[in-house]
Each structure stands twice: as C-alpha cells, then as structure tokens.
A and B are shown apart, each in its own frame.
Chain A
Amino acid sequence: KAGVTQTPRYLIKTRGQQVTLSCSPISGHRSVSWYQQTPGQGLQFLFEYFSETQRNKGNFPGRFSGRQFSNSRSEMNVSTLELGDSALYLCASSLGTSGRETQYFGPGTRLLVL
C-alpha cells in the first residue's frame, strides 16, 4: 500500500506571497493532520480534517488554512508569508475513528521564506 505523499518536497517563496501544499493520504484513510516542524518550536499541530470537515485546529494565525476533498486528499494554504513560516510541513493520515490511533507521516514539504 502506498504511503502518504506530499508535494512539492521543496519550496522557496518570498515574504508576502502565499503557498499551497498538497497531501495524499494512505488509501482508505479518511483523516489528515498537518504539523509544522521548526528547530525552535519543534513539532506543532496545525489542523485535522475528516470527511472534508475540520475537526480540530492548533494555535496558529488565520493565515494558515486547509481543506480536504472528497477523495481525502488535503491541501494547506499559508497566505502573506512571513520569515518565521520557514519550516518543514508534515502531513499525516489515519483511519480517523479515534484520536488514539496511529498517524502515518509523509516525507514533508520544506518551505523556505526569503
């Protein structure tokens, strides 16, 4: 079974621009979560989607948004990029029936904001 895929793998943007990242979950998984990883803050939860509905959201500004499609694929968008948004963005998928179940991660998208 194919794993979680994320595109693109690398991105370079400038301040003020916006960016869209994509995630395809493991087949059959209906929940997709997004995390931001930085050297200073570690791994922080952004949001979680299940059946096209956002069920949970982390403590990030409104510039960070996401959505999920009917085929469970998900996108996240960051508008008006700031230097501090430079990070590795990780997507994870799970069956979605419980918060205690295993999440499987993709390789991440590394975003550099100049």
Chain B
Amino acid sequence: GNSVTQMEGPVTLSEEAFLTINCTYTATGYPSLFWYVQYPGEGLQLLLKATKADDKGSNKGFEATYRKETTSFHLEKGSVQVSDSAVYFCALGGSARQLTFGSGTQLTVLP
C-alpha cells in the first residue's frame, strides 16, 4: 500500500534561516504529492502540490520537487519567518481516493 515517511520534528529555526523538511513515499502507480500546513486550532491548508515527476510546486516562498527516482518530495524555503511556525504534513493522493499523510513536522521559528 501507499505510505509517506516524513522527517521527525520538532524543528526550531531562527528567522531567515533555510528550511528543509524531508518527505519520502512509497506508492503504486503515479500519485500526486502535496504539502499541507496546519496552524494551531485550524484545519489543513494546501501549501503546494505536484502531479507528475519533475514537477515543482511552489507557494509563499516554499518549494518542493516531485522526484520519482528518489521517491521524494522535500519541502524547502530559503528564509523562514516567525509566521511560518506551524505543523507541516506531506501527503500522497493516488488511485485509492484517499490521502495518505506523513506524521507531520512541527516547525517553530524564533525571532
């Protein structure tokens, strides 16, 4: 079956630091890959997505590239802000009509 392995947290960075959150997946077929973000007390917000190999999703300074050869979809941001503090989830959507999520990574950015 499908599975997503996500970098364990929590991650604490200083403002303007570089962020990488690793995500690898196992799937049959050709899934879509997503990053969602969850702020305290809220639901999940779509951050970015990629639907095929070598696609790069980007939004609000965040980027992730769909790497089929390494089955990875790592999230990166060049300069994080305090407002980026949240929990980040990597997810996979395939033929099963359900999202499979990673365990989530708590990010805290200090001023």
User: CA of A43 to CA of B101 in the docked complex: distance in angstroms?
Assistant: 6
Q: How far is the CA of A56 from the CA of B93 in the complex (A)?
A: 13
**Residues of A contacting B104 with CB < 8 Å?**
42-43
Residue of B nearest to A6 (CB): B43
Contacts A56-B96, A56-B97; A43 near B89 (Cβ below 8 A): yes
Count how many chain B residues have C-beta atoms less than 8 Å from C-beta atoms of the other chain: 25
Question: Knowing A43-B89, A101-B32 touch, does A55 contact B97 (C-beta < 8 A)?
Answer: yes
Among B31, B97, B100, the one with the most A-chain Cβ atoms within 10 Å of its Cβ is: B97
A residues contacting the other copy or chain, number (CB 8 A): 24
Chain A residue at minimal CB-CB distance from B46: A102
**A89 to B49, alpha carbons, bound, how many Å?**
23
Interface string of B35-76 (1 = CB under 8 A from A): 010000011111001010000000000000000000000000
Q: Would you call A28 an interface residue if the criterion is a C-beta within 8 Å of the partner chain's C-beta atoms?
A: no
Measured CB to CB, the closest approach of chain A to B88, in angstroms, equals: 12
Q: Which residue of A lies closest to B92 (CB)?
A: A100
The answer to whether A45 touches B42, judged by C-beta atoms less than 8 angstroms apart, is: no
CA distance A90 to B95 in the complex (A): 21
The reply to whether A99 and B43 form a contact with Cβ atoms under 8 Å apart is no
Let me know if A100 and B36 touch, CB within 8 A: no
Residues of A at under 8 Å CB distance from B?
A: 4, 6, 31, 33, 35, 42-43, 45, 48, 55-56, 58, 90, 92, 99-108
